Amino acid sequence: MMIFKRSIPRRTFLRGAGACVALPMLDAMSPALAAAGDKATLPKRFSIVYTPNGVNMKHWLPSETGKDFVLPQTMEPLAPYRDQMLVLSGMNNSAGDALPGEGESAPHERAGGVFLTGVHPLREGHVGTSIDQIIARELGQYTQLASLELGLHNTDVVGSCEKGWSCAYRMTLSWRSPTTPLPIEYRPRAVFERLFGDSNSTDPALRLARIQKEQSILDSITDATNRMMKKVGVEDKSRLSEYLEGMRDVERRIQLAEQQSSREIPSFERPAGIPSEFADHLKLMFDLQVLAFQTDMTRMITFMTGPEQSNRTYEEIGIPDVHHSLSHHRNDPVFLEKIARIDLYHAQLFTYYLEKLRATQDIEGNLLDNMIVMYGSAISDGNEHLLQDLPIALIGGGSGQLKGGKHIRYPAETPISNLYLTIMDKLGVEEGKFGDSTGKVNLLNVS
């Protein structure tokens, strides 16, 4: 049986009652992909992973520039990805600095509002379209979901926050338009259903019934899976089985979290399935992002590990203090040491995501090879709420567009909007101007 000559379209789904599961990259798709052109064969992806409240810059920023830089304490967990990593310093978001008459009010609101827009936010909720949404307009033409906006915090808080400033600036980084913030989704169940629930189903009660019976989405696509297995070769069978088992594991962990939080599921909108531990919640959301990229459901994801002015505590690493309070360290060495430990913990958890991306096969190479991951914060020093010399790193091959292994220090006051303009160019998104940009940056610079 000449099954290796069969061509399975990349947009093939396994459908069942209330489920629509996209396939990962399979060898059987290669003929179809080869005929589809470069945009299909080498998808470009952008992932933003955000940490709030700034960092301890002493332990983040390498002293040396170029290829021979030494990774500081906070960056040490990223050593396995050094060859695909660019540490960038000198980037600033001065467009978010307080204007005359604003005083020092709402520094976290201003930081969150300006970070992905490069536009000074106005008190009532008016800023600029964020880079992720500009990219989503272009890359979303090739995917089922234009973008995902994810996080770990509840965004039920609306209205005004500090000094009457819009709470949206703290709770999200994504703006579809200057006046339209996009709320993040923090519930793993909701993300899972958005990715794998059948959006064409006219009966959402099917989903709720399955959830209440603790049935897997995979149970509803058994027949479709068996038919697909007959169409593909031995390696694809193994690859598909591994993918479905990984998906089942994610779903199982969501169900376990639901069981731990409540046995009652009053409506489909409520089954959050949120793990009680920060690390478990974060890893589950990272797993969902990998699945979204693996199935090419989207090519743009923004992920906030916490909102600006986050009051999370980290008792699991021996720090019961509130993160935001610690960020106002007043140069106290005890506070600074605790911030450095939190930063290190964040970096360690971030490597879980990078490991998953590197281990997941793509059309050519792995997912990390074919995407740009930006890791960083809107604030450098939390004590002074500095928007200058931001902690920013790029990881990934960018589908051959990036060459890592360097620390690049740009001239003081280089707008981070210049970096965004460059990233958009690497992703094939043409924009002559973004935010307060003054031009593109050179990502090959080693000086």
| Residue 37 pLDDT | 43
118 in a structural domain: yes
| DSSP helix/strand/coil, 352 | helix
CB 401 within 8 Å of CB 426: yes
DSSP class of residue 121 equals P
94 in a structural domain: yes
Name the residue among 61, 108, 73, 60 with its Cα closest to residue 328: 108
263 in a structural domain: no
What's CA 323's distance to the chain center, in Å?
21
User: What are the distances in angstroms from CA 149 to CA 121, 172, 173, 239, 433?
Assistant: 20, 8, 9, 28, 24
271 in a structural domain: no
| Residue 204 pLDDT | 52
Distance CA 286, CA 189 (A): 13
What's CA 10's distance to the chain center, in Å?
23
| Helices assigned H by DSSP within 269-427 | 278-294, 323-327, 333-359, 416-426
Distance CA 282, CA 316 (A): 14
User: What are the distances in angstroms from CA 30 to CA 6, 37, 40, 140, 361?
Assistant: 9, 12, 11, 22, 13
282 in a structural domain: yes
Contacts of 347 (CB under 8 A, 6+ apart): 74, 75, 76, 77, 78
CATH number of the domain bearing residue 77: 3.40.720.10
347 in a structural domain: yes
Distance CA 306, CA 184 (A): 11
Q: State the residue range of the domain holding 354.
A: 42-186+277-426
Name the residue among 81, 129, 153 with its Cα closest to residue 359: 81
14 in a structural domain: no
| DSSP helix/strand/coil, 254 | helix
Distance CA 331, CA 351 (A): 29
Domains of the chain: total:
1
**What predicted TM-score, i.e. pTM, was given to this entire model?**
0.87
Interstrand relation of 392-395 and 148-151 (parallel, antiparallel or unpaired): unpaired
Interstrand relation of 85-92 and 406-415 (parallel, antiparallel or unpaired): parallel
364 in a structural domain: yes
| Residue 304 pLDDT | 98
Angle separating helix axes 278-294 and 188-196, nearest 10 degrees: 10
pLDDT in tens, the chain (447 residues): 333 445 677 767 778 767 788 777 777 776 555 444 444 467 899 999 999 999 999 999 999 999 999 999 999 999 999 999 999 999 999 999 998 887 667 899 999 999 999 999 998 899 999 999 999 999 999 898 999 999 999 876 555 677 788 999 999 999 999 999 999 999 998 899 889 876 554 455 555 555 555 567 788 788 888 888 888 888 888 878 888 888 888 888 888 777 765 544 444 343 456 888 999 999 999 999 999 999 999 999 999 999 999 999 999 999 999 999 999 999 999 999 999 999 999 999 999 999 999 999 998 899 999 999 999 999 999 999 999 999 999 999 999 999 999 999 999 889 999 999 999 999 999 999 999 999 999 997 644
